[in-house]
Structure formats: structure tokens, C-alpha cells
Amino acid sequence: MVGLIASGAAVAKAKHATKPIAEAKQAAPALTKAKQTINIAYLTQEQAAPAALSNLDPFIKDKGVIGAELGIADNNTTGEFTGQQYALKKFIVPLSGNVADTFTKEIANKFQWLVLNLPDGQINPLADLPAAQAMLVFDVASSDDSLRNSGCRRNVLHLLPSRAMRADALAQYMMKKRWTKWFLVIGAAPEDRLYAEAIKRAAKRFGIEIVAEKTWEHTFDARRTVQSDVAVFTQVDDYDVLVVADEQGQFGEYLDYRTWNPRPVIGTQGLIATAWHPTHEQWGATQIQNRFKDTAGRWMTEPDYAAYLAVRAIGEAATRTAASDLKPIKDYLLGPAFALQGYKGNPLSFRSWDGQLRQPVLLAAPRSMVGVAPIEGFLHPKTELDTLGFDQPDTQCKWEQK
């Protein structure tokens, strides 16, 4: 969809997202009143460590939770002026444990806000439980497009960019560079197929040609050379970039510098589209990067960032509404006035039609920031952020049927 941006509304929203704490103090209820207490549950399950291709990337067990704790600290800083207090209760289910049992026994009827860090297939079964209907669930782990479309739920908000948003971000940058002939390499895992579907959708949407498509079926040992395997595999018609769909990281890292023709690699490896990255330093990001690293002893990951935003979103809405109950806060979160500072330039907000957090998407190489989407020149009648992913006319999410 092409058009002009409503610049006045965008500027007003940006100002609204960055109002100082002093203004919150001015609008706050009298401090003589009892503080409102907002309790937030954080639910995750231990995951088995995947096979590592390199010792340079150790398995991180606590992705997400430290970001949520940092969000609580920021909320309570503002809460000193607004008469509100925030608390986080963490529930970490053992690898062999039952998530639904933990939810039913420990969380149901005790919390209104749930930050959920679980794999795609566990989100809707939990969100559909009767007790979850009186809660707002913040999904901080999934990028699955179906959860934002036909599988959407009225009580679930999604904090990470969807696969469609990531693919569109890459496509916009490729259009800017005029690299419009793609060679698509797809892994064997089901999620690789889903990522490939998003890539194909983006290619069609932006007029990019996929000149070749192959499925990676080699099973080589990282201890021996892969020069010959990759070189032979990549002998196809001429292309501008190789797009790899390998979400588990089984082979994608081996493609760069080993292709038959000298071409850049993008997708799940090489140049990636991500919500957050260690090299991001603009718009105050250095501050939150350093604060997180001082606390965690490691860099912030996507789930950490998403969990931070989830908790901060609750805090921002509670501050603006001076409320602690579900309905006024949820209505504000999904309304046009909500705007959240996310250290990525534009204020963040939720799409009312599918619960997706609209946000800029970072384009990053392993050691450098390359760009931020939406790319300049891609316009939208309401907000440029809606050039990424499923816009309202395209959505398959029907709230009235949920």
C-alpha cells in the first residue's frame, strides 16, 4: 500500500512516547493513597541444549527472564511517582514438567498479566485454557505467522517481529540495493519451511525474482571441509544474493565464502533481520545494552528484549490510565494513544487487528549494524511500520470469531 505518512500524528506520538518521568509525576495520583500493586507472572520451560556448531555461542538457559526483571526495575522507578508498584513472579517448568499444570496450579486466578516464553506449539493451548481468558498473555518467544493470522487469540499479544516482518525487512533492503534475483536454500526442519514461505511472500510483494530454490539435504561433519559440498550445491543460474532458511543453524553458517559464485548470504544467517542485536547503539540503545550486560554478564538477546518490552508496556499503560485492572490497561494497549519507547527510533505500538507489536526491524551482520527497516522510501498511509508484515487488509485474524 503506497501513500503519504500522517506526519503530524507520527510526531505527536513520538513526543508522547518520550515524555519524561516528571510529567508522569504531574499526572500521578496523590502519593498519600495506597500504592496500586501490579503482579506479573513469567512462565517458561527449561529447554534441552541443542547441538552446538561452535563453542563461540554457548547455550543460554535464562533468555528472557533478565529482560523482564529489567523492565520491572524501570516500571518501579516511574512507580515511585505514580503510586504504583510492580512485582514479577517467575515460574520455570522443568524439562520433563507439565506447563499446563503449572499454569493451573500457580498462575490461574492469581495474575492478570502473563509473560510467556514458550515454543510456538505451546502458546495457544495455554491461551485457550478457561482461566487464561481473564488474562493478557505476552508472547515473547514466537515469530510464527499463523499465530498472528488464522491462529490469533484475543488474549495474546506478540512482542517479537513475525517471520513476515523479518522477510519484508530484508526485501526492502535488497530492493534498495537492487539485488532482486534470489537463490533460496531451505533446510529440512518444519520451521525452515515456514521461514521460506515468508521469504516467498516478501519476494512476490516487492517484485523480487527467486531464480532458484533448493533444499539442503547434506549431512556433513563440521570437522572436515565443506568446500566441495557447498560449491557444487550452489551451481545454479546467476543470482544476486543467496537467501538461507535455517532457523536451527544447522548449515547456514557454512554457506558464506563457499558458494560457487561470490555472492552475499542473507536470511537466517549472514545478514539477518532481528528485533535486537549486540551491535545496535542508536536511539539510546547503548544505555540499555550496558545496563543489561552489567546485570546479566552477557549481551541482550531477542527474548530478553521482548520480555523487557512486555513488562514496560504494562507499566506504560498502567501509568497513563492510572489503573491496575485488566480492561482499562488492555484497552489502552490496543488503542491509538499507546506508544512505547523501544530504543529503535520510532515509538512502538500494538496492531489492533492481530496483537502484533509494530516496530522497526534491525538488519545486522554478525559484527555490524547494516540498516533499520522500514527502509526510507517505502511509504504507508498510516505508519511506515505497517509496511512490514501483514497489514490490516491482508490479515486472516478475525477477532470476532475468537
Confidence category of residue 110, pLDDT binned at 50, 70, 90: very high
Please report whether residue 384 resides in a domain. Answer: no
Could you tell me the residue range of the domain that residue 210 belongs to?
Answer: 164-274
Q: How much is the average pLDDT of 90-116?
A: 97
Query: What CATH number is associated with residue 38?
Result: 3.40.50.2300
Q: Which of residues 337, 359, 381 is at a domain's end? A: 359
The predicted pLDDT at position 56 comes to 72
Separation between Cα atoms, residue 63 and residue 133, nearest integer Å = 26
pLDDT for residue 19 is more than 60 = no
Contacts 24+ apart (CB under 8 A), 251-260: 251/187, 251/216, 251/218, 252/187, 253/53, 253/54, 254/222, 254/226, 254/230, 255/185, 255/230, 258/226, 258/227, 258/230, 258/231, 258/234, 259/230, 259/231, 259/234, 260/231, 260/232, 260/234, 260/235
- The answer to whether position 395 is within a domain reads no
Q: Which residues pair with 265 in a beta bridge?
A: 242
User: All 3 cell numbers of residue 281?
Assistant: 547503539
Length of the chain: 402
3-state secondary structure of 206: helix
Are residues 155 and 175 both part of a single domain? no
Q: How high is the pLDDT of residue 48?
A: 86
- pLDDT mean over 319-334: 96
Do 108 and 149 belong to one domain? yes
289 shares a domain with 146: yes
Same structural domain, 143 and 100: yes
Same domain, 210 and 126: no
With respect to residue 292, please indicate whether it lies within any of the assigned structural domains: yes
Confidence of residue 5 (pLDDT cuts 50, 70, 90): very low
- At residue 32, the pLDDT reads 53
The answer to whether residue 31 scores a pLDDT higher than 80 is no
pLDDT tens across 346-385, in order? 999 999 999 999 999 999 999 999 999 999 999 998 999 9
pLDDT, tens digit, 9 for 90 and up, residues 120-165: 999 999 999 999 999 999 999 999 999 999 999 999 999 999 999 9
Of 226, 251, 274, at which residue does a domain stop? 274
- In a domain, residue 399? The reply is no
Q: Considering its fold, how many domains does the chain have in total?
A: 2
Q: In what order do the strands lie in the sheet with 181-186?
A: 209-215, 181-186, 241-245, 265-267, 271-274, 361-365, 368-373
Q: Based on the domain organization, do 115 and 179 belong to the same domain? A: no
Looking at the predicted structure, is the pLDDT value of residue 17 above 50? no
Q: Is this structure's pTM higher than 0.85?
A: yes
Q: Are residues 20 and 111 in the same domain?
A: yes
Assess if residue 370 is contained within a domain: no
Residue 206 sits in the same domain as residue 75 = no
My answer on whether 83 and 45 are in the same domain is yes
53 in a domain, yes or no? yes
pLDDT band for position 398 (cuts 50, 70, 90): confident
Indicate if 89 and 31 belong to the same structural domain. yes
* Domain-terminating residue out of 359, 374, 390: 359
Do 131 and 25 have their domain in common? yes
Q: Are residues 56 and 155 in the same domain?
A: yes
Residue 30 has pLDDT above 80, yes or no: no
